[in-house]
Amino acid sequence: MSDVPTPHNEAKIGEIAKTVLMPGDPLRAKFIAETYLEKPVCVNTVRNMLGYTGTCQGRPVSVMGGGMGIPSVGIYTYELFHFYGVENIIRVGSAGGIADGVHVRDLIVAMGACTDSNYAAQYGLPGTFAPIASYGLLERAVKAAESLNVKTVVGNVVSSDVFYSDNQDALASWKKMGVLAVEMEAAALYMNAARAGKNALCLLTVSDCPFTGEALSAQERQTGFTQMMEVALALS
């Protein structure tokens, strides 16, 4: 705890709740805080990676941006778990649906996260690590979505290091292994949580489907993301 504040987070001890919702976009963190939290207080502005703490139905909850990609989310989640005493991080993001039967607006609950990243190499493991969600959070998320009449699809996603891939067959290769969608952060979040002995879950709204051309408009994305936020807040 003596490492607080960090080079990336100016919050003091006690200013971040045990449960943190983490969108990639810091402005979406601001939106969540101002829309859903009671008396939100901004606790971090370093690098404009906004973080807020407030209450939801009387329970303390924080929301903070995590940035794009595994290196960025790896830094922020590591510090939250190890330096700020955070117990649960719930990523709320978007994804490209690649599996047959996955459509825009679907809420994906990422049970596992494949990856093309070398992030796990740091652990020196004698094999391949399988990054998975914390089952308690996953089970509660599915039940919360059902109670809110939000369609969910539970399964594997892939966290890619590359947004503009030179390999045009990459997504088709993941699809044949039953992967539901592609995003860029879940694997690092799950690995950091496992190493810290903490809890993590990734919720993803399908915003587009590369193989079918389906895509949400800006307004439709806002509505779909709102449903995901409500499910995530039910876990706080």
Q: Kindly list the catalytic residues.
A: 208
CB 29 within 8 A of CB 50: yes
What are the Cα distances from residue 66, in Å, to 1, 26, 28, 148, 207?
Answer: 20, 7, 11, 26, 19
DSSP secondary structure code for residue 132 in this structure? B
Q: Angle at CA 170, nearest 5°, toward 169 and 175?
A: 100
Rounded CA separation 15/70 (Å): 25
Rounded CA separation 35/225 (Å): 13
What are the backbone dihedrals phi and psi of residue 233, each rounded to the nearest 5 degrees, phi first?
Answer: -65, -25
